[in-house]
Amino acid sequence: AVTWPRADNLFGWSALLGPLAGTEAVPPYAAPARAADLSGLPAAYVDVGELEVFRDECARYALRLAEAGVPAEFRLWPGAFHGFDGALPRVALSRRAAAEQVAVLRRALGGC
For residues 90 and 41, which has the higher predicted lDDT (pLDDT)? 90
Contact (Cβ atoms closer than 8 angstroms) between residue 45 and residue 102: no
What percent of the chain has a predicted confidence (pLDDT) above 70?
Answer: 96
* Residue 33 confidence (pLDDT) above 90: no
pLDDT tens digit sequence for 57-106: 999 999 999 999 999 999 999 999 989 999 999 999 999 999 999 999 99
Q: Could you state, in order of their start, the residue ranges of all structural domains in the chain?
A: 6-108
Write the CB contacts of 78 (distance below 8 Å, at least 6 apart in sequence).
Answer: 50, 93
Mean pLDDT, residues 30-56: 91
Mean pLDDT, residues 31-38: 86
Q: Mean pLDDT across the chain, nearest whole number? A: 91
Phi/psi of residue 6, nearest 5 degrees = -55, -40
Write the DSSP assignment of 7-22 as a string of letters: HHHHHHHHHHHGGGTT
pTM (two decimals): 0.81
Instruction: Give 107's pLDDT tier (boundaries 50, 70, 90).
Output: very high
| Whole-number pLDDT of residue 4 | 72
